[in-house]
């Protein structure tokens, strides 16, 4: 038999996050819960002291016990008390050991030790299982009958030796064992239920923390996409304008100065967007650093976005048909897709490229096409796409859409994105 019993120590249940296990009422009960080994020692003493005292009385009486066997009997009593210290961790081992001690001590004291086995059987019922408790009860009752028969045998071959009345009291012993098993099963089931509740609470706390971590990671990815779009767009426009200003400063100083003013305006706008984003991330920022809270851009701001790229020297033809969706998140996605596509054109094809932007608002979807006819000076490697296209795919995936990008047969580059929604403008599911 193995001691594969689950731990019923409430202190062994892991504490997750801010989970706090309830404390038992009363100072005494709290002490025993915190010091289980002290409880085991007290139980061992509860058996050891009366049994040792009874053994002294028996050995000092006139019961005809051979003095040569008395030290062996005391050793059995002491060993029985010591083995009870392991009743919590090894209930089956303790019970089987008590059976052996009972069988060995019955011929020595010419009576059955009715105290040791109930202690071990109670521990098996509490720290084992209901099935193990009833199996242990059957074995203990059988051991009681055998020990009673051994106690009634004539001692040391003396036919006239007397036996102690009660050595064959198997029925009374079985009744005591039934009571012990029922009490132990009741207490054990209650402990197992409490430990199961505490373990479930710990699992829920772990799941809560995991969900919070997943939500934090998703929000971090969303913020990273927003920061990429803001920084990439601002820096690309500023670099393009700065290069154009440097090339034209000699032959057209007025246009060069205008381009540099546009650079400064774009930089201030990008800085303001970043401050607003940081203000969302950290509520503790001073008001001067947090910026003024504004709504996220939508389809109404596409005209200003197009004009900004035109100011950077990019020839953009913009066409929009249909009724835009009412969902602000979907409008933001449309805005960011157009912004990222034009930024890529400006970065890879230069300001001399000609770009066609078409946005179709259909009843079941939004279709976005951005294509340029200029030569791709710095084309991305096939399959890489960079962070920009990856962010576009992540945004579109939230609406069950797709993004296709690649070189055009007649030169240039094209991006085609589709966002799906129902007739009410609600986003679809991926």
The reported pLDDT for the residue numbered 71 is 72
Mean pLDDT of the chain: 75
**Where do the structural domains in the chain lie, given as residue ranges?**
10-208, 299-430
More confident residue, 192 or 291: 192
Q: Of the candidates 375, 205, 234, 254, which has an alpha carbon nearest to the alpha carbon of residue 312?
A: 234
Per-residue pLDDT tens digits for 395-426 = 888 788 888 888 877 777 888 999 887 544 44
At residue 238, the pLDDT reads 77
What lies within 8 Å, CB to CB, of 55 at 6+ separation is 70, 73, 74, 77, 109
The mean per-residue pLDDT over the stretch 343-353 comes to 73
Is residue 394 within 8 Å of residue 221, measured between CB atoms?
yes
Kindly report which listed range (222-236, 296-310, 362-376) carries the lowest average pLDDT score. 222-236
**Least confident among 63-67, 275-279, 357-361, 426-430:** 426-430
Residue 324, pLDDT > 60, answer yes
Residue 112 has pLDDT above 90, yes or no: no
pLDDT band at 382 (very low <50, low <70, confident <90, very high): very low
Helix (H, G, I), strand (E, B), or coil: what is residue 96? helix
Percent of the chain scoring above 70 in pLDDT = 70
In angstroms, the CA 188 to CA 181 distance is 10
pLDDT at 205 over 50: yes
How would DSSP label each residue in 100-167? HHHHHHHHHHTS--TTHHHHHHHHHHHHS-HHHHHHHHHHHHHHHHHHHHHHHSPGGG-TT----TTT
Asked if residue 421 lies in contact with residue 399, where contact means CB atoms within 8 angstroms, the answer is yes
Among candidate residues 422, 429, 305, the one with its CA nearest the CA of residue 370: 305
pLDDT in tens, 357-372: 999 999 888 999 998 8
- Model confidence at 379: pLDDT above 80: no
Of 356 and 111, the structure prediction assigns the larger pLDDT to 356
Torsion of CA 126, 131, 137, 142, to 10 degrees: -150
Asked if the model's pLDDT at residue 219 lies above 90, the reply is no
pLDDT over 90, % of the chain:
10
Q: Check pLDDT > 80 for residue 374.
A: no
The predicted pLDDT at position 6 comes to: 47
pLDDT for residue 412: 77
Residue 63 pLDDT > 80: no
The CATH architecture annotation of domain 299-430 reads 2-Layer Sandwich (3.30)
Q: Is pLDDT larger for residue 408 or for residue 304?
A: 304
Cβ contact 364:332 at 8 Å: no
pLDDT for res 184: 92
To the nearest 10 degrees (0 to 180), the angle between helices 70-83 and 91-109 is 160
Q: Cβ(383)–Cβ(412) under 8 Å? A: no
pTM of the complete model? 0.48
Predicted confidence band of residue 149 (pLDDT cuts 50, 70, 90): confident
What confidence category does residue 318 fall into, taking pLDDT thresholds of 50, 70 and 90?
very high
Short-list 140, 141, 172, 168, CA closest to 152: 168
């Amino acid at each position: 038999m193995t001691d594969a019993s689950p731990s019923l120590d409430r202190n062994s249940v892991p504490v997750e996050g801010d989970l706090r296990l309830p404390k038992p009422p009363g100072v005494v009960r709290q002490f025993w819960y915190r010091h289980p080994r002290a409880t085991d020692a007290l139980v061992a003493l509860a058996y050891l002291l009366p049994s040792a005292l009874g053994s002294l009385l028996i050995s000092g009486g006139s019961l005809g016990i051979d003095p040569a066997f008395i030290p062996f009997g005391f050793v059995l009593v002491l060993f029985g008390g010591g083995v009870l210290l392991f009743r919590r961790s090894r209930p089956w081992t303790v019970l089987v050991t008590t059976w052996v001690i009972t069988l060995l001590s019955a011929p020595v004291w010419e009576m059955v030790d009715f105290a040791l086995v109930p202690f071990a059987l109670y521990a098996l019922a509490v720290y084992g299982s209901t099935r193990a408790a009833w199996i242990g009860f059957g074995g203990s009752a059988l051991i009681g009958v055998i020990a009673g028969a051994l106690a009634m045998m004539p001692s040391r071959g003396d036919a006239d030796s007397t036996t102690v009345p009660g050595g064959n009291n198997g029925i009374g012993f079985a009744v005591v064992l039934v009571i012990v098993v029922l009490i132990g099963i009741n207490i054990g089931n209650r402990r197992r239920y409490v430990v199961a509740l505490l373990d479930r609470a710990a699992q829920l706390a772990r799941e809560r923390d995991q969900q919070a971590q997943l939500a934090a990671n998703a929000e971090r990815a969303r913020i990273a996409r927003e920061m990429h779009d803001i920084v990439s767009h601002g820096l690309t426009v500023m670099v393009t304008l700065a290069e154009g200003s440097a090339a034209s400063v000699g032959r057209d100083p007025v246009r060069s100065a205008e381009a540099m003013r546009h650079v400064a305006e774009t930089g201030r706008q990008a800085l303001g967007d970043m401050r607003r984003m940081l203000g969302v991330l950290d509520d503790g920022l001073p008001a001067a650093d947090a910026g003024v809270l504004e709504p996220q851009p939508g389809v109404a701001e596409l005209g200003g976005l197009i004009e900004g790229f035109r100011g950077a020297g990019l020839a953009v033809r913009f066409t929009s048909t249909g009724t835009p969706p009412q969902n602000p998140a979907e409008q933001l996605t449309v805005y960011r897709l157009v912004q990222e596509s034009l930024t890529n054109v400006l970065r890879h094809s230069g300001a001399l490229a000609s770009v066609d932007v078409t946005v179709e608002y259909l009843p079941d979807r939004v279709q976005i096409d951005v294509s340029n006819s200029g030569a791709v000076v710095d084309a991305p490697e096939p399959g890489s796409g960079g962070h920009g296209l990856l962010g576009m795919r992540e945004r579109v995936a939230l609406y069950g859409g797709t993004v296709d990008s690649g070189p055009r047969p007649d030169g240039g580059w094209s991006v085609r994105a589709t966002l799906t929604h129902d007739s009410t403008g609600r986003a679809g599911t991926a």
